[in-house]
Structure 1
């Protein structure tokens, strides 16, 4: 009787992988008419080779990592991506005739043409020994998703047919190529390489320029990879042990980055995504649902969504079923969920008594007073009496400059704020001389022609320049 080894658990990794899969799928204000929702699919798009030749987008990505597989271990590889589904809107005529329209108004939603994303996943399983026996040659696993067409009737509140949605998916072809090489050493360590590639034969047509909109239905969108071992573990690529650091440096990852993502901190699963993550990433437990922008703050997005007008919500509901779910979620959150989104304590640290203090007889009261005196944090300027922003001076072209000095601004080339271009030669007043924790000196200034200078001074909100970016007025 043959037994099959249990596969690795992808549950924890899949939660984060879903956030990667739908990152930027539809953004606030969740309407197709929004400018930010007209240029979509920004992460992990593997385009057909014929399109990617001249536009800087790529047909493949590559993952390399180290593994310590046990005997008879198998590698489980799962390629996940979105398959673009093009939706058109048609209005109903007599005798079930239909014509394509730009929008279809309904009481609760406004239907418009839109590209939906259909989740796809293909999984392959292969013994590590078989990969190593290929002697540094790739073992290929091709996959295909066929073209399809579906229709959905649209009816009004009375059940009357008013139109239909036509959804079309183009054929998508791809391949997963796997390599494995055992590295020399006292322990069994294997370098794994996985390349996910779009092998579709779509091309823009003779004499036609490459069109991203036309290529997207044939692309693997938000493509990422899950790797798991039935026995053994992976080596962290972010924080490898000292013995593995040289081999980790030799690994090449192109357009993806692998991190450990096993259940309960285990190292038997790797998530390789087009978004750089840390080992064992997690979805915030306070998150109440998918808002399709995992780099944003849920509270901000939910508040903004709840504040949309009724017409904007109708348009969002008609844009995509997932956008409709976001609107419904924001409208239905109870007060206790809003409070939970507002802030969370991630961990608590126990504060214990410090070491015993030796007190000279007769000085008990003074020692007690010292213990009762509040201790200032390390970043408070009052901790270091040798530094005083109000009286310190710094030499600029041989002239002492400090609080009250008048200067003219000469922003340096290293500054990244484009607005600094407008401050060239602007007269300013030095308010303080500041030293940061690295000992770098900065001059806090207010502009002479700033009508809000008094308010900035009261709030301590200044502009900051380094000494070589100002010229003392006295020196002129």
Structure 2
């Protein structure tokens, strides 16, 4: 059963390293100062944030009553990396240390961990099996030595102990094919002081935690599109902080990936992708081209930030032109011509949305494409929400606002949007209850095209100001009353 697992590994690796280190891959970048945001299971005693200590996966399998169930728990184990300078015979922690043109930074890394368990399905029906995970801590030192032989300092790396428990059970469901509901609860069982900082708690956490499940006989059912006879059982599945999908070639149903990022069944990695960029929701071409624009000083810092970042910098610089050309796009299939857009704008499609970047959140996130080079990302799993109050003024579709991107933004393009006016196309709410405004720029000659395709820029209510007429209310274009 290792072969189907290996087929799913590429997609699982994309989940594992989603958000590990974001472009521009430097420790000083604002977006890399609040790290490890996906699939984080913190110690139960740590409650300073809304991050959970456990996840629950429930999925359906038919014809698997006598199968073996193989599970792989995969996650990142944060590794503390501290740089110390030698001063008067003592090692003193410092933010960075230069030695012969090489910079050494104090910046945490992570080690990929994988734990496997195989359990007979008959023993899980009506019972629960607990699999305990124990990772001991460790510590290593590496001297920083100049070409002259003088020891200038050292790099100290350390893993803190991690403890976890997998609680596995199964129960029979109503149906004609021996349907089973498989349940796996992943719990962080590590001890961390309640007053610990998030940085300290993360070192005892399971980061980007996800599961691969496989059966030796029978098959899993899609929860996204189950057969009609299994829909009641599918509706009864409860997934908390994770989402299970079928993986492998289309048509295969023997492996499930339960991910903290919402995926469609049978997700795949584009064959043109030359390597991991730590942001599977972005476009390889954009990230490679942006990486090439880094200055030599920025590349030097990126290489010092993380060994994996150094690999990206080198790969982007060495990518042959013929491989770079492949990133411009590919036609996967041909279909009938698209129907002309209607005269009135339709609600935006959320089939390819990506997570917002406002900070850690306990729910699973959808993987998809970016909203474009400017403005924020699309909020995940958003739905129409009518109106929202901004500075005491009710804002709805058709209203005009002035953009004031907040300090939490990390994209340099946002500076070009500050002060510009825009029309509100929709007020949306995501799965966390956070509201967003979908807007088109007033001075954008392509606004009608963006509107017809549902391609908008997205802003939080505190990142806009209402544009009022004579102080009486938001300006609404002729013939477009707000909803």
Paired residue for 1:75?
69
Q: CA separation of 1:210/1:467 partners in 2, compared to 1, >3 Å: closer, same or farther?
A: farther
Partner of 1:379: 340
How much does 1:102 deviate?
A: 1.6
Q: TM-score, normalised by structure 2?
A: 0.71
RMSD across aligned positions (CA): 3.2
| Match in the other structure for 2:307 | 321
The question of whether the paired residues in 1 share the 8 Å contact of 2:65 and 2:180 is answered with no
Does structure 1 conserve the Cα–Cα contact (< 8 Å) formed by 2:397 and 2:481?
no
- Given that 1:81 and 1:224 are in contact with CA atoms closer than 8 Å, whether structure 2 keeps it comes out as yes
Q: Is 2:5 the counterpart of 1:10?
A: yes
Aligned length: 376
Which one has a larger percent helix, Structure 1 or Structure 2? Answer: 1
Give CA-to-partner distance per residue, 1:429-471, whole Å, 9 cap, x none. Answer: xxxxxxxxxxxxxxxx998xxxx7xx9599989999572529x
Matched, 1:337 2:323: yes
Matched residues in 1 for 2:264 and 2:446: separation?
41
CA contact (8 A) 2:99 2:152 kept: no
Residue 346 of structure 1, CA deviation = 1.3
Cα 1:184/1:151, change in 2 over 3 Å: same
Residue 123 (structure 1) aligned with residue 112 (structure 2): no
Would the alpha carbon gap of residues 165 and 342 (structure 1) be closer, same or farther in structure 2, given more than 3 Å must change? same
Query: Separation in 1 of the partners of 2:448 and 2:72?
Result: 54
Q: Which one of the candidate residues 255, 264, 267 is aligned to 1:281?
A: 267
SS at match of 2:45: helix
1:469 aligns with 2:472: no
Return closer, same or farther for 1:446/1:81 CA change in 2, 3 Å cut-off.
closer
Structure 2 residue aligned with 1:50: 45
Matching of residue 212 in structure 1 with residue 198 in structure 2: yes
Task: For residue 232 of structure 1, report the CA deviation from its aligned partner.
Answer: 1.4
CA displacement at 1:377 relative to structure 2: 6.9
Distance 1:421 1:228, change over 3 A: closer
CA distance in 2, matches of 1:457, 1:173: 53
Aligned equivalents of 2:26 and 2:257: distance in 1? 31
Please give the secondary structure, in 1, of the residue aligned with 2:262.
coil
CA deviation profile, 1:355-397 (whole Å, cap 9, x unmatched): xxxxxxxxxxxxxxxxxxxxx9741789xxxxxxxxxxxxxxx
Q: What residue is the counterpart of 2:29 in the other structure? A: 34
TM-fit CA distance, 1:277: 0.2
Q: Does 1:105 align with 2:98?
A: yes
Contiguous gaps of at least 5 residues in structure 2: 344-392, 405-439, 452-474
CA distance in 2, matches of 1:446, 1:287: 33
**271-280 vs 154-163, greater mean Cα deviation:** 154-163
Report the CA distance between 1:177 and its aligned residue.
0.4
8 A contact 1:318–1:324 mirrored in 2 = yes
Q: 5 Å matches for 1:359-374?
A: none
- Aligned-partner SS, 1:467: coil
Instruction: Find the aligned partners of 1:377 and 1:72 in 2 and give their Cα distance.
Output: 48
- Once residues 377 and 147 of structure 1 are traced to their aligned partners in structure 2, the CA distance between those partners, rounded to angstroms, is 57
Residue equivalent to 2:171: 181
Equivalent residue, structure 1, for 2:280: 294
| Aligned residues of 1:11 and 1:263 also touching (Cα < 8 A) | no
8 Å CA contact retained: 1:109, 1:315: no
Partner Cα distance (1:51, 1:377) in 2: 51
- Once the 2 structures are TM-superposed, how far is the Cα of residue 71 of structure 1 from its aligned partner? 5.4
Alignment partner, residue 431 of structure 2 = none
The answer for the alignment partner of 2:107 in structure 1 is: 114
Go from structure 1 to structure 2 and tell me whether the alpha carbon gap of 1:160 and 1:15 turns closer, same or farther (over 3 Å shift): farther
Q: Whole-Å Cα distance in 2 between the matches of residues 457 and 217 of structure 1?
A: 47
Q: Encode CA deviations 1:42-101: one digit per residue, 9 max, x unaligned.
A: 11000000003x531110000101001445310001111100110000224577x53322
Q: CA deviation at 1:179?
A: 1.0
Partners of 2:398 and 2:153 in 1: CA distance: 52
Aligned equivalent of 1:195: 185
Does residue 166 of the first structure (1) align with residue 156 of the second (2)? yes
Mapped partners of 1:218, 1:144: distance in 2: 11
- For normalisation by structure 1, the TM-score amounts to 0.72
The 1:129/1:29 distance shift into structure 2, 3 A limit, reads same
The equivalent position to 2:235 in structure 1, one of 242, 249, 273, is: 249
